[in-house]
Chain A
């Protein structure tokens, strides 16, 4: 059975992250991960409160996109959509 998720990659500053989240809509009912990608957010607490407020799962990832996909596969997801906040 397919299990899908959307991983929102925070790849820049807080401003870009919140601008992205203001217009983001989850229309597929997928699970959502907010990913601090290669420590782009220098204040983890900011990242966590924003994720918690939106009801998203938190993931910290250092490494490549391939490794991130592999990590999500290991969590049981076989359909993964990656979105980057800096490419709004």
Chain B
């Protein structure tokens, strides 16, 4: 039986430089080396387009017949649509066409996690009926990443009630754990009954039976990451872990390998 997958590549090709505060690490300097603004990305739009093309090639290589949607929340998203014309079975969607209000928040959010969760939730709300009718799985990949050795046998009719995460290896697990502040741990977790952890948010998937619960989870995460008490203290990945724990019996962890560019500009990596 044919399994229909939607590969959702979410990105902000042109992050712009609107109103980002000093908490964000990427400084935009003028010709005199004076800081003019702060940005949440170190990549130019052109670099991001090349990265997304790599992502598309990875998908085409492993899943040639599946639908790809590029979801872009740039202010000038429509300017980029024709850059992907050479690919078939691919649709470029401007996030503003899902919800202008959500797209504006997504464009200006200093925390990339807020941007991603609002963008994804907005898309799932707008195309909810179509997604349920056409697809068995939604695979979510951020536009900076690709993958190889994807085990596609996991996408079966029996697993449409599953959430699939790339397994975080012990090295990364420790690295991610170290990101969490003790304040966050004390605030959210009872140390005795939970092992703090993170989910990999670069590449993950869910069976279509889980669409509504994923939508609720994304709405909750965008709210929590924006909350004054949690702002700058928490990560998309840790909430994705914590809020999907109630579904743990329906979670599958797989050994997918991700390749891509470090968000902090530390170069190309895989893992």
Contact = CB atoms under 8 A, between A and B. Distances in A.
Interface of A: 13-15, 18, 21-22, 41-46, 49-50, 52-54
Interface of B: 121, 187-188, 213, 215-217, 219-220, 222-224, 227, 229-230, 242-243, 245-246
Given A49-B220, A49-B242, A50-B220, 17 more contacts: A13-B219, A15-B215, A15-B216, A18-B219, A18-B220, A18-B223, A41-B216, A43-B243, A44-B246, A49-B188, A49-B224, A49-B243, A50-B224, A52-B187, A52-B188, A53-B229, A54-B227
A85 to B, nearest CB: 12
A44 B138 CA distance: 24
Contacts of A44: 246
B188 A43 contact: no
Q: DSSP class of B's interface residues: helix, strand, loop or mixed?
A: helix
A43 to B, nearest CB: 6
A78 B246 CA distance: 36
Contacts of A52: 187-188
A82 to B, nearest CB: 22
Contacts of B222: 18
10 contacts: A13-B219, A18-B219, A21-B223, A42-B213, A43-B213, A43-B216, A43-B246, A46-B220, A52-B188, A53-B227
Q: DSSP class of A's interface residues: helix, strand, loop or mixed?
A: helix
A49 B213 CA distance: 16
B216 A46 contact: yes
A48 B31 CA distance: 50
Contacts of B188: 49, 52
A45 B243 contact: yes
A44 B219 CA distance: 14
Contact of A53 (B216, B217, B224): B224
